[in-house]
Amino acid sequence: MNELKRFEIFKRLSVAIPNPTTELKHHSTFELLIAVILSAQATDKSVNLATDKLYAIANTPESILALGVLGLEQFINTIGLYHAKAKNVLATCQMLITHHQSQVPNTREALERLPGVGRKTANVILNTAFGEPTIAVDTHLFRLGNRIKLATGKTVLEVEHKYLKTIPAEFMQDAHHLLILHGRYTCIARKPKCAACCIEDLCEYQAKEYNVVNN
C-alpha cells in the first residue's frame, strides 16, 4: 500500500471518528492501568460494569490492596480469568506503592515490570495516559493490519513494527484508537460492514473480494 493511500485512510478515519479514545472508563492513570489489566480477554463493557462498582469503593493502590484477594474478586468475578487478574492487580498495587510512590510509571521498562502488564498494556498506557505515539496491537489492530494491508504480519510484534513504520506521522497519536474503534464497530471480524465503511474504496480486502466476485 502506498503512502498516499495510507494517508487518505487515516484522514477519513479521523473524520469519521472525531474523538478517538479508549472506551474503558477511568478518571486517573491508575484507574486506566487497572482497567486495562482487567480487559485482557474481556470486553470493555464487562470491565466498565465491574470498575464502576470497584472504583466507587477503592480507586488507589492503597485502597485496592486493602481489599485483599477475596474482597477484590467480589467486584471483578464477572470478568474472565478474574482469579489471576485479582492477584496481578494486588501485586501491581504493592509495587506501585513500594517502588513508585503510588504513581503509575511512564516508561515501558517500568510498566512491563508490573504484574499483569505486558507490551500491549504498556503501549496502551503510554499512548492514552502519557501521549506517546505507540501502537498496542490487540485483536482488532492485528485483523485490520492484515485485512486492509496496512501492516501485514504473522505475529503481534511484527504487525506493531510495521504500523510504526507506515502510519503517517500526523496520525500516530490517534492511530491506535482510530483503528480499534473502526475494527470494533465497522471492520468487524465476521461480515465486516463494508457498505458503511468510509474507506471501502481504499481497502485492499474489499478490492480483493470485489475482484473475486466479478471475475
Would you please indicate which residues are annotated as catalytic (active-site) residues? Answer: 120, 138
Question: How wide is the angle at C-alpha 48 spanned by C-alphas 43 and 53, nearest 5°?
Answer: 140
- Residue 178: CB partners within 8 Å, gap ≥ 6? 10, 13, 14, 17, 20, 171
Q: What share of the chain is helix, strand, coil (3-state, %, to 5)?
A: 65, 0, 35
**Grid-cell match 517502588, residue found:** 99
**H or E segment to which residue 3 belongs:** helix 3-16
**Grid-cell match 495510507, residue found:** 6
